[in-house]
Chains A and B, each alone.
Chain A
Amino acid sequence: NAGVMQNPRHLVRRRGQEARLRCSPMKGHSHVYWYRQLPEEGLKFMVYLQKENIIDESGMPKERFSAEFPKEGPSILRIQQVVRGDSAAYFCASSFRDREYEQYFGPGTRLTVT
């Protein structure tokens, strides 16, 4: 009974490169959430998706960041032209459609931009 899976666990990118973070939700979960944790801070909501649809992206930076959750495969958080300030831990959570209050978190991807 696998939980939420994220890969890679650690990702190092040089400034200007692209970062792709993947999240596979728990079995049966149709909704995915992405949160970002900057150093010494709490988690901040970024985006909420269901299959093939973005429900709420109010926490996403307007530029360089995008997210998708295709019909098949994992959810992807994509950061283009990374900058040092993007260095953070990115956590994915998933839930059943009608149980948004019960989110299960993955282990996170730690992005380091050099």
Chain B
Amino acid sequence: AQSVAQPEDQVNVAEGNPLTVKCTYSVSGNPYLFWYVQYPNRGLQFLLKYITGDNLVKGSYGFEAEFNKSQTSFHLKKPSALVSDSALYFCAVKGSARQLTFGSGTQLTVLP
């Protein structure tokens, strides 16, 4: 079985400050890890993925994520948050199963 935990339902950060959205996972086999963003009443937008290689993955809109195998984590980060980054963020994992398993989501609010 594969699972994802996003321990924070809500993250608030001031504009210009660094942000971190946490994600831990559990899978059989090597993990494929993903971050998606969802704006209100919109579909999922792909941000970045880890398949193999460098543990630090850079993605869209200045986001990056660090794969940590020993801690089974894949936290999403951005050095300087923008108000427009406010949205719902989902972490997802794929192990040996064919489908993606999503976390419950973290609502990010960037305060001006």
Interface residues of A (CB under 8 A from B): 33, 35, 41-45, 48, 55-56, 59, 91, 93, 100-108, 110
Number of A-B residue pairs, CB cutoff 8 Å, is: 50
Contact A42 B105 (CB under 8 A): yes
Excluding A42-B102, A45-B100, 10 further A-B contacts by CB distance (< 8 Å) are A33-B100, A41-B105, A43-B92, A43-B102, A48-B99, A101-B94, A105-B36, A108-B43, A108-B44, A110-B41
The interface of chain B, by Cβ under 8 A from chain A, is 32, 36, 41-44, 46, 49, 51, 90, 92, 94, 98-105
Q: Helix, strand, loop or mixed for chain A's interface? A: strand
Give Cα distance in the complex from A59 to B100, angstroms.
12
Identify B101's interface contact among A45, A93, A100, CB under 8 A.
A45
In the complex the two chains form, is B99's CB within 8 Å of A45's CB? Answer: yes
Q: Which residues of A contact B36 (CB under 8 A)?
A: 105
**In the complex, which residues of chain B have a beta carbon less than 8 angstroms from the beta carbon of A59?**
99
Residue of A91, A103, A110 with most partner-chain B CB within 10 A: A103
Top 10 closest pairs, chain A to chain B, by CB: A107-B43, A45-B99, A42-B102, A101-B32, A43-B102, A105-B44, A42-B104, A108-B43, A100-B98, A42-B105
Contacts of B46 in A (CB 8 A): 104-105
Instruction: List the A residue with the shortest CB-CB distance to B94.
Output: A101
Chain A residues near B101 (CB, 8 Å)?
45
- Taking CB as reference atom, which chain B residue is nearest A10? B41
Q: Say yes or no: A48 contacts B98, CB within 8 Å.
A: yes
Closest to A55 in B: B98
Contacts of A108 in B (CB 8 A): 42-44
